[in-house]
Structure 1
Amino acid sequence: MYEMLAEFIGTMILILFGAGVVGGNVLKHTKSEGMGWLAISFGWGFAVALGVYVSGTISEGHINPAVTLGFAAIGDFPWAQVPAYIIGQVAGAFTGAVIVYFHYLPHWKETQDQGAKLGTFATDPAIKHYPSNFLSEVIGTAALLFGLLGIGANTFTDGLDPIATGVLIVAIGLSLGGTTGYAINPARDFGPRLAHFLLPIHGKGPSNWEYAWVPILGPIVGGVLGAVLYALLLG
């Protein structure tokens, strides 16, 4: 339960800062409106680094079901703890999204674009093409797990692993994130999408549940694939 709480808090921080930077970019009349993809990519990188720093000493800072499942698939994490970690991650992502909603409370009414409101919470593809969108999430998450295992194998990063992980997230965002918004984390998308569905957001529109399977299944497949490839090639 202590590890699950750590995953809850770490993932909540991830979404607070990650969804927060998106909201500042797309919602109307914020002082950071229109700051662009570069700022969003760095914002998510910082968000991951801080979430891992907060939770890492207790739960190793997975803050992502794809990471948990990927590590379990290669024997680096006990399967018995997987459900508790995922519950903590999804609940933390949902809670972080609720906090973001209250933080930007007057800006929902000022923003007419329903896509921008949903985009603050959940991902959406630049071009809707489910096979390509799914493949993008698989590739991005495989790169994440491959990179995480490589970071963990280097002793020079002791104490700096969260920063190195944040750099990895920025790299994925800048290079691979432009197609789907790089969920690369089922909890990161599902928890906030559920918050968007349930919260009384002014003029919010649909939550696009028909797309929601892509940022859930794509990262799961990609996480396991990236971990297994690393274990086979470099483990």
Structure 2
Amino acid sequence: MNNFVLELLGTMFLVLLGDGVVANVVLKGTKGNNSGWIVITTGWAMAVGVNAFIFTASGAHFNPALTIGLATIGQFAWADVPLYIAAQMIGGFLGACLVYVQYKDHFNQSDPDSQLGVFATGPAIRNTVTNLLCEIIATFFLVFAILGIGQTEMAPGLSVLGVIAIIWVIGICLGGTTGYAINPARDLAPRIAHAVLPLKGKRDSDWGYAWIPVVGPIVGAIIAAQLFNWLVCSGIFR
């Protein structure tokens, strides 16, 4: 139960800060309006890092894809997977609701697409196959890199700086196609919040796309975990 609470709070704060930076950039009338992609990617990277420092006791997953990927190679107990995913989804939903409270006046002044863009990712060019592949590739790198950093001896806490770099580089280098969800709890839970919150003049929640930032990250995480585990078992990583 302790880990449930930690994962819930960690994912809640992650989405509060991550969706919060998006709101600050895209919503009308904010101090950060139109400050750009670098601000968004930096905010998301720092959001992951700060919460990883705070909630390290639970493993700081905050991501069902990572949780499932680790379970497939025996680095996390399958019995705990449902508990973690439930915590992550609840936390993601609550974090999105807090973003709504924080930016309520600005949501009311913004167009429906910008409102949705705060809560959920969407493709720059809509193409089911390539959108899915982009999420698979980005999450593959995320999980492979996290496992790789885990192989390196570091001072306590230093590995979190590596995670910040991973999230930042994914956003800058790979995020321009689909908005790099790389995390079902970061996308699906806030998308549900968008559907139920009383946003002024809101549009639909784009449910036709919603499966891609769920399936893509899970597939990418499993492939990355399996490949990394094979490399370790083969002695390529020592």
TM-score range normalised by the length of the shorter chain:
over 0.9
Structure-1 residue corresponding to 2:208: 210
1:200-228 Cα distance to aligned partner (Å, 9 max, x none):
01111110011000000000000111111
CA distance in 1, matches of 2:155, 2:33: 35
Structure-1 residue corresponding to 2:184: 186
- Tell me by how many angstroms 1:81 deviates: 0.2
Structure-2 residue corresponding to 1:19: 19
Structure-2 residue corresponding to 1:195: 193
- 8 Å CA contact 1:137, 1:219 repeated in 2: yes
- Tell me by how many angstroms 1:158 deviates: 2.9
Change beyond 3 A, Cα 1:158–1:121: same
Match runs of 1:1-235 below 5 Å: 1-57=1-57, 59-111=58-110, 113-234=111-232
Instruction: Name the aligned partner's letter for residue 140 of structure 2.
Output: A
1:36-81 Cα distance to aligned partner (Å, 9 max, x none):
1111011100011112122112x11000001100100111000000
SS of equivalent to 1:106: helix
Count of aligned pairs: 233
CA distance in 2, matches of 1:15, 1:88: 13
SS of equivalent to 1:211: coil
- 8 Å CA contact 2:65, 2:221 repeated in 1: yes
CA distance in 2, matches of 1:92, 1:50: 16
- 8 Å CA contact 1:157, 1:164 repeated in 2: no
Instruction: Name the aligned partner's letter for residue 22 of structure 1.
Output: V
Instruction: Name the aligned partner's letter for residue 69 of structure 1.
Output: I
CA distance in 2, matches of 1:229, 1:35: 38
CA distance in 2, matches of 1:197, 1:157: 43
Identity %: 47
CA distance in 2, matches of 1:229, 1:156: 23
CA distance in 2, matches of 1:23, 1:119: 8
CA distance in 2, matches of 1:133, 1:94: 24
CA distance in 2, matches of 1:27, 1:154: 41
CA distance in 1, matches of 2:23, 2:160: 24
Structure 2: segments with no counterpart, 5+ residues: 234-238
TM-score by length of 2: 0.96
- Tell me by how many angstroms 1:114 deviates: 1.2
- Tell me by how many angstroms 1:166 deviates: 1.1
1:163-204 Cα distance to aligned partner (Å, 9 max, x none):
210110000001111000000000100110000000001111
Change beyond 3 A, Cα 1:211–1:157: farther
CA distance in 2, matches of 1:157, 1:181: 32
- Tell me by how many angstroms 1:157 deviates: 5.0
- 8 Å CA contact 1:72, 1:78 repeated in 2: yes
